[in-house]
Chains A and B, each alone.
Chain A
């Protein structure tokens, strides 16, 4: 990681490579395991161990060499590094940028995207030096590198300087907060990696400025170089007035948020209690630290861990008085601080090891201990000019040209989202663009109300002051990209490959909502920016998520018994390993008995129901899939329909009605028939209806309790409406001839029966009206049947006649075709009186 750090990367790596090659294989294994755990790519950034080793060696070297170490940072070395490294670095960093565009598992992201990769660090350092010049380049590396490094250095320096530090308000400039207080890896990774649009901010500091600052403060502070070296093995002496070389000296290729790592906090100390314990000392204060040694201020001190980087933070660059909303007087923390003794070093001492965690940005970083930094003293004054840079830098980091909605932006993935959410996102995007054009944000306040897309440029740019209020330097600490992650994570949770199954209530709610909005007059654009949600038609089906489903392959370790269970976010451990077993116990069939048969029937109904549900799911899905998938789905559907029909156990000739009758004696079976009828092929449906009508008397008798039959009538009518005369004839025949005529009598006295009769007659009338050529004998047969029906209708006492579910239309017209005037008139009267009831 730090191999280029000290300026002699050229020779060292070779050495290291030799030493490490032997272990390479072993480590690969580890890496593979890590892959299993964190997903591939988690550790593809390079081998931190190697890098750490390099770093350690470097430090050893440095110690041995003593005084000469400051040299690497001399102009010569710098120039060299600059020369060779820059082009390469740029290239690599650009590549890196592209690599980062892929969206990963969020859990992994924090590790992976962290500024950990040695590569990145390497690339980072040289440009960091040139930062001011390369401001416009895709310079995220500079963001990472400089502040932390300077913080580190300052840290060391201050150790030296402590003794003579004059009393001063122990207040911290805001900058401290950023560099040292944000120790959460999540936050760290939040620091802009992707830079913002190329905007050369008027207030951006130029190299000159920085240098001037450095010179100024460096001269004033003038810590002695040897001293500095003695204390900080990895550090850099600050003696040289060319302060701008310092960044290279710092250990910390830490990302901005990474504080110098000196375990000063009590190791076990949580960063925050359940209630969110304060992490840091007060930040709000005028940072008027005079350059030079700062002794600990008298008075209450925060716990040592809290103290850290203070002095270093102190001087903001002269050019940038901290614009703060409400300058607050120096504040005292409510709790007493432990006075810092001069020269005090963290309890753990200050050793290279401490750097480890931070450099790697592993999740362990989260532990408060190693992040809250320095053993009391903060970065020395020599550094100060760098400190404030961090906020500035990423405050105005010119973004890469391709900003817009970045590759991974939710906008591009909106296809996965529910249409409604997509709309929201799109609206947002539009708003953002408008705002950007307008040059100020929605709040209209000075507040960095970044809107959904906190882009720093328009906030920090020349127009930074809005409405006379001070701008907020720390605005946009969370990058656009990170915001998108959060959005994406949330959105992904709404994704489902089978929304109606997994997320029915949300889908139903959304469709209802959208239907409501669609109903509203479009003029009412309250909801609306641009095209309100009401303008697009409600669309229920959420596009399928193209989610790669990784199969879980448990890690297998050699020479172990059993399987070692490894789980990760991608491969959660299976709690229950369930597989479908054949439930049907055919041996049980021997155990006959009425009860058993009934149970079997119930099971069959349940099974058919689940086929039915599956089938309905398919119907919903069919709309949203591609043509090929649709074809296979339709095939599957046909198979299912067939299966359902077979479960009825019916034959076309009506010889095997028994099972179906049993079926129809069960309430659930009846409702299932009602649901199935409309989707059955016409012939099958006709068979079912015929069977029902043939046994109408029995069914009506059995239905007295359930009263389910009337619910069937709409399905039956549906079938009837789609039938031709031959089917109608067979239906009517089934009613009239089945059960020795008992059917017809029962039918006219039953709501379902009457409904069926009426729809039969209505359908027949329609058919006759459409002038389809009907064979004479068929027509005669039909007329005969109708006549029988009429007779029955008239013979039954009027009080016993049931009224159909829907009032019939055109029946009398139809009947009058076949019967004499008198009968039809009587029938008409009867029907009319029925309706009157």
Chain B
């Protein structure tokens, strides 16, 4: 089966009802069971969790059913159920992970600010970073 695949989004049919990890365009990571797809690769994820990774820690936020517009899918892959729980990562509570994420973002912002400042000092016009985009 590795060789053959269906054209386009039809290949996703293979993944139906499997547990998938989906990375969205805004960087979010979802894990859920793929229930339905269409020709646009719109997805319906069931029992979805949003997983936030910060360093070696991660936290899961239950999200229920997720309907994802296909264009927002960056990456999608099946989760290896056998090794799912053998991650070299530590699971923490939602609050903790959110906090960690916040700290991380703050740190990033600080860094960014410092960078901008440094560039200004050198007379360079800071380039707006593409990653700052809010969705």
Binds A, one of B39-47, B105-113, B120-128: B39-47
Q: A273-B135, A282-B63 are in contact. List 18 more A-B contacts (CB 8 A).
A: A187-B35, A187-B36, A187-B44, A275-B25, A276-B30, A276-B66, A283-B65, A328-B62, A334-B61, A427-B4, A448-B17, A472-B33, A477-B35, A477-B46, A486-B13, A491-B10, A494-B7, A527-B3
A residues less than 8 Å from B62 (CB atoms): 282-284, 328, 331, 333
CB closest residue in chain B, given A477: B35
B residues less than 8 Å from A449 (CB atoms): 17-18
- Which residues of chain A (251-299) have a CB below 8 Å from chain B? 271-276, 278-284
> Interface residues of A, CB < 8 Å — how many?
63
Could you give 17 example pairs across A and B, Cβ below 8 Å? Answer: A181-B65, A274-B72, A275-B72, A278-B65, A281-B64, A283-B47, A284-B62, A421-B6, A421-B7, A448-B16, A476-B17, A477-B44, A478-B37, A482-B36, A486-B10, A487-B10, A526-B3
A residues less than 8 Å from B64 (CB atoms): 177, 181, 278-284
Q: A274-B135, A278-B64, A279-B64 are in contact. Are A447 and B18 (CB under 8 A)?
A: yes
- Which residues of chain A (371-424) have a CB below 8 Å from chain B? 421, 424
Q: Is A174 an interface residue (CB 8 A)?
A: yes
B residues less than 8 Å from A279 (CB atoms): 64-67
Q: Is B19 an interface residue (CB 8 A)?
A: yes
Q: Give Cα A493 to B6, complex, Å.
A: 12
Q: Give Cα A261 to B51, complex, Å.
A: 32
- Which residues of chain B (5-24) have a CB below 8 Å from chain A? 5-10, 12-14, 16-19, 24
Q: Give Cα A273 to B68, complex, Å.
A: 9
B69 partner, pick from A276, A284, A451, A478, beta carbons under 8 A: A276
Of B9, B18, B36, B47, most buried by chain A (CB within 10 Å of CB) is B36
Q: Is A489 an interface residue (CB 8 A)?
A: yes
CB closest residue in chain A, given B28: A275
Of B6, B37, B68, B69, most buried by chain A (CB within 10 Å of CB) is B6
Q: Give Cα A279 to B45, complex, Å.
A: 11
Q: Give Cα A486 to B8, complex, Å.
A: 9
Are the C-beta atoms of A490 and B8 separated by less than 8 Å? yes
Q: Is A668 an interface residue (CB 8 A)?
A: no
Are the C-beta atoms of A475 and B17 separated by less than 8 Å? yes
Q: Is B96 an interface residue (CB 8 A)?
A: no
Q: Give Cα A424 to B6, complex, Å.
A: 8
Are the C-beta atoms of B10 and A278 separated by less than 8 Å? no
Q: Give Cα A16 to B82, complex, Å.
A: 61
Interface SS of B by simple majority: mixed
Q: Is B104 an interface residue (CB 8 A)?
A: no
B residues less than 8 Å from A276 (CB atoms): 24, 28, 30, 66-69, 72
Are the C-beta atoms of B14 and A486 separated by less than 8 Å? no
Task: Kindly provide the distance from the CB of B1 to the nearest chain A CB, expressed in whole angstroms.
Answer: 8
Q: Is B26 an interface residue (CB 8 A)?
A: yes
Are the C-beta atoms of B39 and A489 separated by less than 8 Å? yes
Q: Give Cα A181 to B28, complex, Å.
A: 21
A487 partner, pick from B6, B26, B48, B69, beta carbons under 8 A: B6
| B interface residues (Cβ-Cβ under 8 A, vs A) | 1, 3-10, 12-14, 16-19, 24-26, 28, 30, 33, 35-39, 42, 44, 46-48, 50, 61-69, 72, 81-82, 94, 98, 135
Q: Give Cα A654 to B63, complex, Å.
A: 85
Of A275, A427, A476, A491, most buried by chain B (CB within 10 Å of CB) is A275
Are the C-beta atoms of B26 and A334 separated by less than 8 Å? no
Task: Kindly provide the distance from the CB of A306 to the nearest chain B CB, expressed in whole angstroms.
Answer: 9
Task: Kindly provide the distance from the CB of B3 to the nearest chain A CB, expressed in whole angstroms.
Answer: 4
Q: Give Cα A528 to B14, complex, Å.
A: 17
Q: Is A452 an interface residue (CB 8 A)?
A: yes
Q: Give Cα A284 to B6, complex, Å.
A: 33
Q: Give Cα A50 to B8, complex, Å.
A: 41
Are the C-beta atoms of B19 and A478 separated by less than 8 Å? no
Task: Kindly provide the distance from the CB of B69 to the nearest chain A CB, expressed in whole angstroms.
Answer: 6
Q: Give Cα A193 to B134, complex, Å.
A: 41
- Which residues of chain A (149-188) have a CB below 8 Å from chain B? 174, 177, 181-182, 184, 186-187
Interface string of A519-546 (1 = CB under 8 A from B): 0000000111100010000000000000
Are the C-beta atoms of B81 and A474 separated by less than 8 Å? no
Closest 5 pairs between A and B when the two form their complex, measured CB to CB: A448-B17, A276-B68, A275-B26, A280-B64, A331-B62
Q: Give Cα A181 to B48, complex, Å.
A: 13
Are the C-beta atoms of B66 and A278 separated by less than 8 Å? yes
CB closest residue in chain A, given B34: A478
Q: Give Cα A526 to B3, complex, Å.
A: 8
Q: Is A127 an interface residue (CB 8 A)?
A: no
Of A186, A442, A454, most buried by chain B (CB within 10 Å of CB) is A186
CB closest residue in chain A, given B36: A478
- Which residues of chain A (469-486) have a CB below 8 Å from chain B? 469, 472, 474-478, 482-483, 486
Q: Give Cα A446 to B35, complex, Å.
A: 15
A490 partner, pick from B3, B6, B50, beta carbons under 8 A: B6
Q: A276-B30, A452-B14 are in contact. Are A186 and B42 (CB under 8 A)?
A: yes
Are the C-beta atoms of B25 and A483 separated by less than 8 Å? no
Are the C-beta atoms of A474 and B69 separated by less than 8 Å? no
Q: Give Cα A802 to B68, complex, Å.
A: 71
Task: Kindly provide the distance from the CB of A194 to the nearest chain B CB, expressed in whole angstroms.
Answer: 15
CB closest residue in chain B, given A517: B3
Are the C-beta atoms of A184 and B44 separated by less than 8 Å? yes
Q: A334-B98, A472-B17 are in contact. Are A177 and B65 (CB under 8 A)?
A: yes
Q: Is A235 an interface residue (CB 8 A)?
A: no
B18 partner, pick from A181, A448, A489, beta carbons under 8 A: A448
Are the C-beta atoms of B16 and A478 separated by less than 8 Å? yes
B residues less than 8 Å from A476 (CB atoms): 17
Task: Kindly provide the distance from the CB of A449 to the nearest chain B CB, expressed in whole angstroms.
Answer: 5
Are the C-beta atoms of B67 and A445 separated by less than 8 Å? no
B residues less than 8 Å from A281 (CB atoms): 64
Task: Kindly provide the distance from the CB of A335 to the nearest chain B CB, expressed in whole angstroms.
Answer: 10
A residues less than 8 Å from B98 (CB atoms): 334
Q: Give Cα A181 to B82, complex, Å.
A: 30
Are the C-beta atoms of B17 and A447 separated by less than 8 Å? yes
Of B39, B67, B69, most buried by chain A (CB within 10 Å of CB) is B67
B residues less than 8 Å from A445 (CB atoms): 81-82
Are the C-beta atoms of B16 and A450 separated by less than 8 Å? yes
Q: Give Cα A478 to B8, complex, Å.
A: 18
CB closest residue in chain A, given B47: A284
A residues less than 8 Å from B17 (CB atoms): 447-450, 454, 472, 474-477
Are the C-beta atoms of A274 and B69 separated by less than 8 Å? yes
Q: Is A190 an interface residue (CB 8 A)?
A: yes
A residues less than 8 Å from B14 (CB atoms): 451-452
Q: A447-B19, A478-B37, A482-B36 are in contact. Are A452 and B47 (CB under 8 A)?
A: no
